[in-house]
Amino acid sequence: MASSTGVPLSLRLRFPPNATALAALPWELLWGDEPTPLLLSRGQLAPCTRHIDLSAAIPPTRSITTPLRILPITPHAGIAAADRQAEQEARNKTWQPLIDQGDVIMLAEVSPATPRAIVDAIQAGPPPDIIHYVGHGAYRNGQGYLILDQPTGGWNPTPVSRLLPLFGGVCLVVLATCQGAMVGADPDQAQPSLLSGVAPALSAAGVPMVVGMQLTIRMAALNRATAVIYRALAQGKSIQDAVSTARQALYVEEPDGASWYVPVVYIRSRETGPAYLIPPGNGTRGRM
């Protein structure tokens, strides 16, 4: 019907908070009769958004247009030092044009990421608009966990509900995980992963918008996707359009044919309209 009437397609999937397994299915892979995926067909961007069906409103957009503040959080747990350094260098290189253009400000990175270090970083300010988490997570018994660091080293699986007093005031949390060596799991915990339940768990717990990766993804593709998302958000586009733009870029640029559907977006609201970090059409570029 959308094709015949010329209306852009938009998939808005609403799930109750306990439907984690259903929400985690790769709905982006819906396919029609055309050779390209449904979300990328006819040269139009078609957003696919998962809404956690709760009576909650989307926070208002920022009243002042300034560069988006991004706080990287990069635990050491489960990530080899060489992999962590390579990820950081690649990420900084990919994001540098956004910083140079005045689209974003990258706050001091939290690494190692103990609960105290994260508290101090957020409380000391300036408050972040986006938390960019590069690490692992786990989902079990209806609870999502982020794998943080112990003060003396080692794994610290922290329930997302405990982090809500800090993360609940942030507009967007991006859960970034890429292909890399796991250096060994905590013997008391299941093998961690960010592949399914942590993003909806964060959303259900109270984070307004969450972008997660539903499969592992190459580092270059991950950094390219987040750079496209942050650039679009800084230009006043909605989170739905920003993620759709990243999917389009990955589909064209990545030869694997799979990276494009890895980023997914969750919104903690029954509202199904566009969700913005800054007012639409009032991008940050040139407005330092």
The one-letter code for the residue type at 39 is L
**Residue 280 to residue 288: CA distance in whole angstroms:** 17
> How many of the other CB atoms lie within 10 Å of CB of 257?
10
Which tokens sit at 96?
A: 């540098």
Please give the model's pTM, rounded to 2 decimal places.
0.86
Which tokens sit at 74?
A: 């990069």
Of the candidates 161, 159, 147, which has an alpha carbon nearest to the alpha carbon of residue 192? 147
122 three-class SS: helix
pLDDT in tens, the chain (288 residues): 766 777 777 888 888 877 777 877 888 888 777 777 878 766 667 888 888 777 666 666 665 667 899 999 999 998 889 989 999 999 999 999 999 999 999 999 999 999 999 999 999 988 899 999 998 888 777 778 899 999 998 999 998 889 988 887 888 999 987 544 334 444 355 445 444 578 888 887 788 899 988 877 888 899 999 999 999 999 999 999 999 999 999 999 999 888 998 899 988 877 667 888 888 866 655 443
**CATH class assigned to 68-179+191-267:** alpha beta
**Residue 185 to residue 103: CA distance in whole angstroms:** 37
Q: What is the largest CA-CA distance in the chain?
A: 61
β-sheet with 209-213: strand ranges across: 11-15, 48-52, 263-267, 209-213, 172-176, 130-134, 68-73, 104-106
Return the domain boundaries, the chain. 68-179+191-267
125 three-class SS: coil
Say which residue the tokens 């660091």 belong to. Answer: 149
Q: E strand or H helix at 90, and its extent?
A: helix 81-100
**Residue 191 to residue 186: CA distance in whole angstroms:** 8
Query: What are the DSSP E strand ranges found in the chain?
Result: 11-15, 48-52, 68-73, 104-106, 130-134, 137-140, 143-149, 155-159, 172-176, 209-213, 263-267
